[in-house]
């Protein structure tokens, strides 16, 4: 009987406990006492109704997105003109960055939200204080922001002049390279950065590349000849850019020009004729006389570099004994070494039959004038079948090589 009695007492204790628990629950549900139960967040029990003033529950406040400017350092001085602004943000997608000068004018720039960077779209001014403001929306609808200031470097004494051969408003031929020149040699380690800061925009769009002709000259050409009647805009943003040995770019510049109709001249030594095509159609065939064997014309692709309706060819400085001074009409230079297309009335009887020139492309007086009136600087002339090949660099020889070969002269790989 002992085990049974113990089991009975256990069941009795369980029953009593259950009754007490039920009493507590009933009391909590029905009591009108001001005492609040400690469960359910201190609120009323199930089925109870309370007004807003009786509720003690509160929603957690949203965490603020913190922002900070990390570079340039606060109150930094001697900051370079193309320095990026770096910042931290817990909400990059909604972060705004504003840079203003001492007069409060906003500086143009672009924001890389993935990299937390602001980059200037144009060079900053020498010796100028700037304010950076980085902000994100805050929980109360206001801006959560951070500000910092920095001052750019003073204008240095060593500045490199950067110039464009072409100017605004010019109309040039389809073979015209864009030519930039520098006032001092640019070390190789800086040339890639220089190229990155020289941008070319053509309308319609056309692929192209820069090529370094020397340490002080760089050209740009498209993959094929410029499309006729294109618009070309290029920007050179080198003010304040390091150009080696303590030297900096002096200024920025832009050029806006137009490409004219397509005019291509083709000279064949076998036929002693020049074929002139405009926009793909033959408009004239001209008898020519090229360089004799002792002074051959160069075979290759060249462009018209300069034009003079009337000039004098003087070679006496180079060759006092056999040099000559000769008045020339309708001259169009195609090489640095002195090869021209020009009128030569003294060789009109030989034109189309024999080569008697000193390397130039001789045409008649009348056809020389006609051709002179048709051409633009940058128009293309290709000569073939002569004893001598054109040497690259003897003029604007940008088209005397394949595009793949041309690209090798760029430092952007």
- Cα–Cα distance, 65 to 87 (Å, whole number): 13
Catalytic residue among 30, 310, 358, 360: 360
Q: How far is CA 79 from CA 73, 123, 151, 407, in A?
A: 10, 12, 6, 34
Rounded to 5 degrees, what are φ and ψ at 10? -65, -45
Concerning whether 219 is annotated as a catalytic residue, the answer is no
Rounded to 5 degrees, what are φ and ψ at 209? -155, 155
Instruction: Give the list of residues 6+ apart from residue 5 with CB closer than 8 angstroms, or none.
Output: none
Instruction: Give the list of residues 6+ apart from residue 170 with CB closer than 8 angstroms, or none.
Output: 257, 258
Are 184 and 247 in contact by the 8 Å Cβ rule? The answer is yes
Are 411 and 195 in contact by the 8 Å Cβ rule? The answer is yes
Are 215 and 244 in contact by the 8 Å Cβ rule? The answer is no
Are 251 and 276 in contact by the 8 Å Cβ rule? The answer is no
Catalogue the active-site residues. Answer: 342, 360
């Amino acid at each position: 009987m002992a085990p049974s009695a113990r089991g009975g007492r256990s069941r009795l204790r369980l029953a009593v406990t259950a009754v007490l628990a039920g009493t507590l629950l009933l009391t909590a549900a029905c009591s009108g006492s001001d005492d609040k139960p400690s469960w359910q967040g201190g609120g009323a029990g199930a089925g109870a109704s309370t007004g807003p003033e009786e509720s003690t529950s509160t929603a957690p406040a949203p965490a603020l997105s913190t922002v900070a400017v990390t570079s340039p350092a606060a109150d930094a001085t001697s900051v370079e003109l193309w320095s990026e602004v770096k910042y931290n943000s817990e909400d990059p997608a909604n972060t705004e960055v504003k840079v203003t000068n001492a007069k409060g004018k906003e500086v143009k720039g672009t924001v890389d939200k993935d990299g937390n960077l602001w980059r200037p779209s144009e060079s900053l001014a020498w010796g100028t204080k700037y304010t950076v403001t980085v902000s994100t929306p805050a929980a109360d609808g206001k801006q959560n922001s951070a500000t910092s200031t920095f001052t750019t470097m003073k204008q240095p004494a060593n500045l490199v002049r950067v110039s464009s051969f072409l100017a605004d408003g010019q109309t040039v031929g389809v073979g015209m390279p864009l030519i930039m020149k520098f006032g001092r040699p640019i070390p190789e380690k800086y040339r890639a950065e220089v190229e990155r800061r020289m941008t070319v925009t053509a309308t319609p769009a056309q692929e192209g590349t820069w090529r370094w002709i020397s340490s002080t000259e760089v050209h740009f050409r498209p993959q094929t000849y410029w499309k006729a009647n294109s618009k070309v805009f290029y920007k050179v943003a080198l003010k304040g850019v390091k150009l080696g040995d303590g030297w900096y770019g002096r200024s920025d510049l832009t050029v806006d020009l137009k490409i004219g109709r397509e005019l291509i001249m083709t000279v064949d030594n076998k036929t002693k004729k020049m074929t002139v095509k405009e926009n793909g159609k033959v408009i004239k065939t001209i008898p020519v006389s090229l360089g004799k064997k002792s002074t051959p014309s160069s075979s290759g692709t060249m462009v018209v570099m300069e034009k003079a309706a009337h000039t004098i060819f003087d070679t006496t400085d180079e060759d006092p004994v056999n040099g000559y001074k000769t008045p020339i009409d309708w001259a169009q230079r195609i090489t640095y070494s002195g090869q021209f297309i020009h009128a030569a009335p003294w060789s009109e009887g030989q034109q189309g039959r024999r080569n008697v020139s000193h390397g130039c492309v001789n045409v008649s007086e009348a056809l020389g004038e006609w051709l002179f009136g048709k051409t633009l600087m940058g128009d293309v002339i290709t000569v073939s079948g002569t004893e001598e090949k054109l040497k690259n660099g003897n003029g604007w020889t940008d088209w005397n090589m394949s595009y793949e070969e041309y690209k090798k002269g760029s430092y952007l790989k």
